[in-house]
Amino acid sequence: MSKKFNLFSISLLIIYFLAGIFLSLNTGISHDEYHEQLNWEVNLNSVKDFFSSGSYDNLLNYRDRYHGIGFNILSQPFQYLIKDLVKIYLDINEYGSILISKHIVIFILFFISGLFFYSICMIFFKDKRFALLSLFIFLLYPYLFGHSHFNPKDIPFLSFWIICTYFIFKIIQKIFDEKKISIKLIFFLSLSTSILISIRIVGLLILLQYLIFLIVYLENKNKSFIKFINLYKKNFLAFFFFVILFTYLMNPIFWHNPQEILNSVKWMSKYQQDICTVTLGNCMKSLNLPSSYYFIWLFFKLPIFIILGFILFPLIEKKLSNNILNKIFVYSLSISIFLILILFIIFDVSIYDEIRHIMFLIPLIFLISLNNLFLLNKKVSSYLGVVVVIFFIFENFSLNPYQYTWMNSFSKFYNINKNFEVDYWGLSNKNLYKSINRHSLENRSNKKSCVYGDLYSKVFLENLDFECFKQYSQLDSAKDRPFYVVKNLRNFKRSDPKNCSLIKMESYKYSFSNQKIKVGSSWYCD
C-alpha cells in the first residue's frame, strides 16, 4: 500500500510539474519583467565597468539600484540556455524569449519551495499523507499557482522565505534534541538568507523571524540567552560571516560603499510608488494606506479553509502543550506574522497591487492553519482538504491564465470588477495583441497602423509591419488614423477610445459563478 501511495504521489507531482512548465510558457509578460531584466543588465554592465575602469556611475544613477541580483545569478544562465527553444516554440523575438524563459525558472523554484514546505509539514505532523495533502493545497492554491508562472520578484522572495524557514526549523530541532549543528546547515541557511535579502532588502526581516524562534525556544526551555549565545557562538559567527559575505557579493551597489545598505533600507521602506489599488470600491493610494488594507485583502485572498484553521487557534492551544517543539514552531511563526504586519503598518511601508508585497507571509499562515486543523480533527480536516484540492483544480482551469487574480468565495458577494484589482499586471495583453495580429492580417491595409499599448508586450505582435508602437498614455495626442489600442486593467479607469470598433474584450469567470470579470480590450480606430 505504501509503495502504491508513493508511486501515486510522485505521479501527481510529475503531472503538476509538467502542467506548470507548460502554463508558464504560455503566460503573458507582466509589467515588472522588463524592469527585472533591465536591473540584471544594469548591474552586470556596472560590474564589468567596475573591474575594467573602476566606474560605477551607471549603477549609482539607476533608479532600482538597491535591487540585488541573487536570484538572477541563478536564473540568467538557465534563461540563456533555453531561450532559443522558447523562441522557436512561441515564435517571438529573442528578447521576449529571454523574459518568458524566466517563467520556467520561477515555476521550478516555486515547486522546489513546495518540497521544502512539505518537509516542514512532516516536522509538524509526522504524518506523510496529511503532509502531502497540505503540499497540494499549497501548490494548487490558485493565487500562488498563478503568480508562479511569471512573477519575477514576489515568488522568488516567497520561495526563499520558505527555504529559510525550513533551515531554521532544522536548526531549532537539532538544538532541541541537543545535537550538533553542522557547518553545512549554517552555510545553506546563510546562503538562502543572503539570496532573500538580495531580492528585496525587506528580506532582512527574516533575521527577526530567526530571533523570534530563538526567544520562544529559550522561553519554553527556560534557558539563559547569554549562556546559549556562548554555547553556540561559533555557529553565530559562521552564520553572520557567510550572510555578510554573500549579501555583499549579491548586491553590487554595496561594493561602492558598504554603508549603502542603510540607504537601501530607507529607500525600500519609503519606495515612492503612489499607485492606486482598488479595495472594496475605494482607491487606496500606496503612500497613504489605511491599516485595514492588509486585513481586507488577506480576508478576500486567503482560502476560507485556511482562514478557518487560523482563527481556531484557541481550540488547539492545550493540545500544543503536549508537544513543546511543535508549540515553539507554531508560536514563533504566529508572532513573526503579526510582528511583521505591525512593522509594515507602523513604518507606513508603501505596498500596492493587493497583497503581493506580503505574499511571503502566506506559507506561514498556511502552516499554522493546517497544523491547527490537523490537531483539531485529522480525519475531518483530511476530507475537507481533499475537497479544497478538487475545488482549486476547477478554479485553476476556470481562471487560466489569470489564476493570480483569484479571490475566495467571500468576494463573490461583490461586483469584483468595480470593487477589486484583478489583472493589474496586464497578462491579458498577450491575447489582446494577438487579436490585433489577426485583425491586421484580415485587413491587410491596416498593417501600417500605429499600436497604442504597453511596449513590453509588443513581443507578441507577430506582424512587425506596424508603423509605430506607443504607450497607451500617448493616445490622447494621437491624430493620425488608423491605429490600434490595447487597454488593460490599469487603463480601464479611462474612457474607451472614441469612434473606434471593439476587436476583443478579454474576460473570464470563476467556476460556479456567472460573474464575468473584464480584464482588457483591444480596439481598431479607423
Q: 460: which 3 cell numbers? A: 507578441
Query: Confidence band (pLDDT; 50, 70, 90) for 294?
Result: very high
Straight-line distance from the first to the last Cα atom of the chain, in angstroms, rounded to the nearest whole number = 67
Instruction: Say if residue 99 is in the same domain as residue 164.
Output: yes
- Residue 383 included in any domain: no
CB within 8 Å of 307: residues ≥ 6 apart: 299, 369, 408
**What local confidence, expressed as pLDDT, does residue 268 receive?**
67
3-state secondary structure 314-333: HHHHHHHCCCHHHHHHHHHH
Distance CA 208, CA 228 (A): 18
Q: Would you place residue 511 in the very low, low, confident or very high pLDDT band (cuts 50, 70, 90)?
A: confident
Q: Which of 332, 349, 376 is the last residue of a domain?
A: 376
Is 55 inside a domain boundary? yes
- How far is Cα 224 from Cα 293, in angstroms, rounded to an integer? 40
Give ∠ CA 103-202-174 in degrees, rounded to 5: 90
Residue 47 and residue 56: Cα distance in Å, rounded? 8
Burial of 274 (0-12, 13-18, 19+ CB in 10 A): exposed
Q: For 295-314, write each residue's pLDDT tens digit.
A: 999 999 999 999 999 999 88
CB atoms within 10 A of CB 276: 14
Residues 345 and 457 in one domain: no
Scanning 280-428, the segments in alpha helix (DSSP H) are 292-301, 304-311, 313-320, 324-346, 362-376, 378-399, 416-419
Quick check: is 225 in a domain? yes
What mean pLDDT is reported for the chain?
A: 91
- 509, 517 Cβ separation under 8 angstroms: yes
C-alpha cell at 31: 509589467
Of 1-10, 79-88, 229-238, which gets the smallest average pLDDT?
Answer: 1-10
Q: Does 393 map to a domain?
A: no
pLDDT at 264 over 90: no
Contact 511, 397 (CB under 8 A): yes
Task: Give domain status of residue 264, yes or no.
Answer: yes
Indicate if the pLDDT at residue 494 is higher than 70: no
pLDDT at 220: 92
Rounded CA gap, 113 and 351, in Å?
Answer: 24
How far apart CA 197 and CA 292 sit, in angstroms, is: 27
Contacts of 213 (CB under 8 A, 6+ apart): 168, 172, 328, 332
Dihedral sign from CA coordinates of 265, 270, 272, 273: positive
Instruction: Judge whether 421 lies within some domain.
Output: no
Q: How confident is the model at residue 500 (pLDDT cuts 50, 70, 90)?
A: very high
Between 59 and 185, whose confidence is greater?
A: 185
**Range 467-494 burial, b when 16+ CB lie within 10 A, else e:** eeeeebeebeeeeeeebbbbbbbbbbee
- Let me know whether 276 and 354 are in one domain: yes
What phi-psi label fits residue 305: left (phi over 0), alpha (psi between -120 and 50 degrees) or beta? alpha
Listed in sequence order, the residues at least 6 apart from 56 whose beta carbon sits closer than 8 Å to its beta carbon are: 46, 49, 50, 255, 256
For residues 85 and 231, state if they share a domain: yes
Provide the whole-model pTM. 0.95
264 and 120 within one domain: yes
Whether 328 and 464 share a structural domain: no
Q: Are 216 and 167 in contact (CB under 8 A)?
A: no
pLDDT digits (tens, 9 = 90+) for 116-159: 999 999 999 999 999 999 999 999 999 999 999 999 999 999 99
Q: Grid coordinates 506580503 are at which residue?
A: 358
What is 161-175 written as a DSSP string?
Answer: HHHHHHHHHHHHHHH
Q: Give the structural domain span for 154.
A: 2-376
Residues 513 and 372 in one domain: no
pLDDT at 204: 94
Residue 370 and residue 487 share a domain: no
Q: Determine the Cα angle at 356 with ends 354 and 358, to 5°.
A: 105
Same domain? 210 vs 333:
yes
Tens digit of each residue's pLDDT (9 = 90 or more) over 422-478: 999 999 999 999 999 888 888 865 556 789 988 777 888 876 677 788 888 888 777
For residue 388, tell me if it sits in a domain: no
Domains of the chain: total: 2
Whether residue 407 lies inside any domain: the answer is no
pLDDT of residue 385: 97
Alpha-carbon torsion angle 57, 62, 66, 67, nearest 10: -120
Do residues 164 and 170 lie in contact, with contact meaning Cβ atoms separated by under 8 Å?
Answer: no
Instruction: Say whether both 353 and 435 belong to one domain.
Output: no
Q: In angstroms, rounded to a whole number, what is the distance separating the alpha carbons of residues 502 and 319?
A: 60
pLDDT of residue 445: 59
Sign of CA dihedral 289, 295, 296, 300: positive
- Tell me what percent of the residues of the chain surpass a pLDDT of 90: 69
Work out the pLDDT band at 239, boundaries 50, 70, 90. Answer: very high
Same domain, 355 and 484: no
480 in the same domain as 349:
no
pLDDT-derived band of residue 79, with 50, 70 and 90 as boundaries? very high
